[in-house]
Amino acid sequence: MRVSDRTKLSPDQACELILLTMLVGEAMMTGLNRRGIDVGRINYQENGNWGVFRSSGPYLHIHLYGRARSAKIQKYGDALHLPHRETGFYDGFRPLDEGDIREIKDEISRLLKTEKYRSIPEISRRPAGSRSGSDIQARNGATGGLYRDGDDEEVDDAE
């Protein structure tokens, strides 16, 4: 399903989206800290700005930014600065490595077994019309497109 923004979601779908971002954000916080990246906060942002230049138009997607306390470029506590890719701003950034992504995925798997998120796999098998507001469809690959700056802060280039 492709929609331009959250106002096109049903209330149930909107609740599912929130729960998914909670799961991934919690997994990022725990997993990346375990990998030595001192993430103190996750910023959640709905984007689509660059999609306005495409014939297909913008589509709903959520960026999760791990805000590292020790970041030198996107300093902890400051607003994010996210210029277009061609500006060269991101040239020194490096992608999260396989170990980082594996740690996040492993943490997602662990969290799915907790009381807080236990119903997610069950919910994803239900017909869309039978889901309640607290339901969610779990999706794989939620960490794609994330980058570290030279000082271990993540920035998503998928915009």
- Within 8 A by CB and 6+ apart from 95, the residues are 146, 147, 148
Cβ–Cβ contacts within 10 Å for residue 1, how many?
9
Report the C-alpha gap between 46 and 38 in whole angstroms. 24
Token pair listed for 152:
């271990």
Tens of pLDDT, residues 71-81: 999 999 999 99
- For the cut 50, the answer to whether the pLDDT of residue 35 exceeds it is yes
Q: What is the mean pLDDT of residues 34-41?
A: 97
Q: What is the mean pLDDT of residues 59-88?
A: 93
Chain-centroid distance of CA 72 in Å reads 22
- For the cut 70, the answer to whether the pLDDT of residue 23 exceeds it is yes
Report the C-alpha gap between 66 and 100 in whole angstroms. 12
Token pair listed for 117:
């998120």
pLDDT band at 147 (very low <50, low <70, confident <90, very high): very low
Average per-residue pLDDT in the chain?
80
DSSP class of residue 105? Answer: H
Q: Between residues 44 and 155, which one has the greater pLDDT? A: 44
* Phi, psi for 41 (deg, rounded to 5): -160, 150
pTM, to two decimals: 0.75
Q: Residue 81, exposed/middle/buried by CB under 10 A (0-12, 13-18, 19+)?
A: exposed
The pLDDT of residue 120: 73
* Phi, psi for 64 (deg, rounded to 5): -115, 120
Tens of pLDDT, residues 94-144: 889 999 999 999 999 999 999 999 877 666 656 655 544 333 333 333 333
Place of tokens 């690959």: 141
The pLDDT of residue 143: 37
